[in-house]
Amino acid sequence: MQDDLYSNQTTCVELVKYYLNRISENAVLNAFLEVFDADALAQATFIDSKIKTKTAGRLAGMVIGIKDNIAYKGHKFSASSRILEGFESVYSSTVVERLLKEDAIIIGRLNCDEFAMGSSNENSAFGKVLHPLDHSRVPGGSSGGSAVAVAADLCLATLGSDTGGSIRQPAAFCGVYGLKPTYGRVSRYGIIAFASSFDQVGPFTRSLSDAAILTEVMSGVDGFDATLSRLPAPVLLPIEKSKGKKRIAVIKDLVAQGGLHQAVIDTYLASIEKLKLAGNIVEEVSFDYIKYTVPAYYMLTTAEASSNLSRFGGVVYGYRSDKSVDLDSTYKKSRTEGFGAEVKRRIMLGTFVLSEGFFDAYYTKAQKVRRVLRNKLAVILQDYEALLLPSTPSPAFKFGEKSKDPIEMYLEDIFTVLANLTGMPAISVPCAVDADNMPIGMQIIVNNFEEKKLFECAQELETIWKT
């Protein structure tokens, strides 16, 4: 696309107008909560002038949407919650600053599950996001608006956040690429926290190269985030073609554990066979801990959410109940009315996990499980370049199908939470479709800070499904 810009075949202004029209035509999807039309057009005009003088940045012409939990100075953001009603950011997140520095154009903010808590995008205070291929199905969550915006061609790329699969699961459901970088690779400064030791920002794209350049631009040292690695930003482009055989691990008896949709099983087994036929070594490894990942994840993330969300009380900013009569009732009524059901459920569960008498039984034990998972996966990845898993147990399910049973909904994260518990980078690659033409993605996990290897393995998986 940049070649077209530099050869005067199109302009950034024309691209923005195209996407603004696409957003308007597809408003029923409810992907965007707000469109920055005037800002985007002004930015496009400025970048067009830079293109003429050949001074434009690496992302010139890339029109991007951002999840509604990412701060952009002078713009509202609410994490799709009433509790932040009317709140406008006074600064930009580090990732937004880095995108703008390279001349990306931010076109709007995207719908998501409230405070990034959900696997279906049914929990937003501003209505559910519809799947672009079938409006009766969920787009995945929590970054459902981000996935849909890319899948429906409402912008070129988007940013989401991934706490337990909130990028990879909707990416798989919508048939696009979704990357969760290594924890500590991309700054979390300016991101509304759900669970601080899990959250990571990453891109949704329609190509691996776009995901790679966005990850490059967003990565690197940031003095505003003390949890960030001191490693420099990785060089991910060009994505190198496979040299020789890749050693890829798959979990023994994964399919036999049950709970997988037949189309996902078929795609998973076909991926293994295609990788072998392409000359790669794919071997089973013992990993008997998958069943512990979801319980450990929800013990730890709800505990962190209980702490992080305590700052929202209707006193300084955001929603304040008109039924308040004193300080105590201001907190109680504002939080009761401002938070949705799923957020309140997780706050209460996290408060219980952290309470006296239960802290060691739940929180401490879950931290021990997290360490076991990290150590065991690191051992596997010493002998293998990557671990291959399904991204999700099933293709996109129908609205209401799982929302009445929180446990069933939580189990949708069974294959994605492992990367968040261990901090390792992972990507969902679109591979196939089921009988209803719904996309199916496969997931690749590599060792910490090996994003370059992750993209090489993803390209190998992409290639075998395209041939």
Return d(Cα 159, Cα 139) in angstroms, integer: 15
Query: With contact defined as beta carbons under 8 Å apart, do 129 and 29 qualify?
Result: yes
Return d(Cα 86, Cα 410) in angstroms, integer: 30
Give which of 31, 104, 120 is closest to 68, Cα–Cα.
Answer: 31
β-bridge mates for residue 259, sequence order: none
Return d(Cα 242, Cα 336) in angstroms, integer: 54
Return d(Cα 429, Cα 172) in angstroms, integer: 7
> What three-state secondary structure class fits 160?
strand
Return d(Cα 107, Cα 379) in angstroms, integer: 43
β-bridge mates for residue 201, sequence order: 161
Tokens of 316: 């300084």
Query: With contact defined as beta carbons under 8 Å apart, do 126 and 30 qualify?
Result: yes
Query: With contact defined as beta carbons under 8 Å apart, do 408 and 394 qualify?
Result: no
Surface-to-core class of residue 282, CB atoms within 10 Å of its CB (0-12 exposed, 13-18 middle, 19+ buried): buried
For the annotated catalytic residues, the residue numbers are: 67, 142, 166
Q: In the Cβ-directed half-sphere of 256, how many Cα atoms lie within 13 Å?
A: 5
Sequence-separated contacts (24+) of 409-414 with Cβ below 8 Å:
409/118, 409/119, 409/120, 410/119, 410/294, 410/298, 411/259, 411/294, 412/119, 412/120, 412/165, 412/169, 413/119, 413/164, 413/165, 413/169, 413/294, 413/297, 414/259, 414/290, 414/293, 414/294
Return d(Cα 375, Cα 360) in angstroms, integer: 21
What is the DSSP-derived secondary structure letter of residue 462?
Answer: H
Return d(Cα 455, Cα 38) in angstroms, integer: 35
